[in-house]
């Protein structure tokens, strides 16, 4: 009889532990990776600049010709420019060379 009472007390705690474990697994398998992808996408979209070759979420390739706070101006063919929202840019195919980056690289060279 004493064994039945102690087993019943432990049985009430097990479902709560299983639910907590399930939420923990869901967090590390689904929520955390999604947040990481969102942060990476926001970082990529904030570093867009003229000359970058990009792909939109619709699969359209273009070259960035201008950047505003919320929009990006893409040249999709010679003389054809379209305007897209920044979140519509899926990925950067090639980064353009920036003069500021090359100046920073030159500062690393030790002068003799």
Closest to 96 (Cα-Cα) out of 47, 23, 24, 56: 47
**Together in a domain, 58 and 22:** no
Parent domain of 42: 1-46
**Together in a domain, 31 and 55:** no
**Together in a domain, 39 and 71:** no
Strand partners, 20: none
**Together in a domain, 66 and 107:** yes
**Together in a domain, 91 and 66:** yes
Work out the pLDDT band at 80, boundaries 50, 70, 90. Answer: very high
Residues 85-95: tens digit of each pLDDT:
999 999 999 88
The strand pair at 80-85 and 89-94 is best described as unpaired
Q: Which of 46, 65, 83 is the last residue of a domain?
A: 46
**Residue indicated by tokens 């004493």:** 2
**Together in a domain, 111 and 88:** yes
The domain tally of the chain equals 2
Q: Which is more confidently placed, 111 or 5? A: 5
Residues 28-61: tens digit of each pLDDT:
999 999 999 999 988 898 888 899 999 999 999 9
Q: For residue 33, what are the CA distances in angstroms to 13, 38, 90, 103, 111?
A: 30, 9, 17, 35, 45
CA distance 89 to 71: 10
């Amino acid at each position: 009889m004493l064994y039945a009472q102690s087993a019943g007390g432990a049985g009430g705690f097990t479902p709560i532990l299983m639910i907590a474990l399930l939420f923990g697994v869901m967090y590390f398998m689904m929520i955390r990776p999604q947040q990481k992808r969102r942060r990476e996408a926001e970082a990529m979209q904030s570093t867009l600049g003229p000359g970058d070759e990009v792909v939109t979420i619709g699969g359209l390739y273009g070259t960035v010709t201008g950047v505003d706070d919320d929009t990006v101006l893409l040249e999709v063919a010679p003389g054809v420019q379209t305007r897209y929202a920044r979140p519509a840019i899926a990925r950067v195919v090639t980064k353009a060379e920036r003069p500021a980056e090359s100046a920073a690289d030159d500062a690393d060279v030790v002068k003799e």
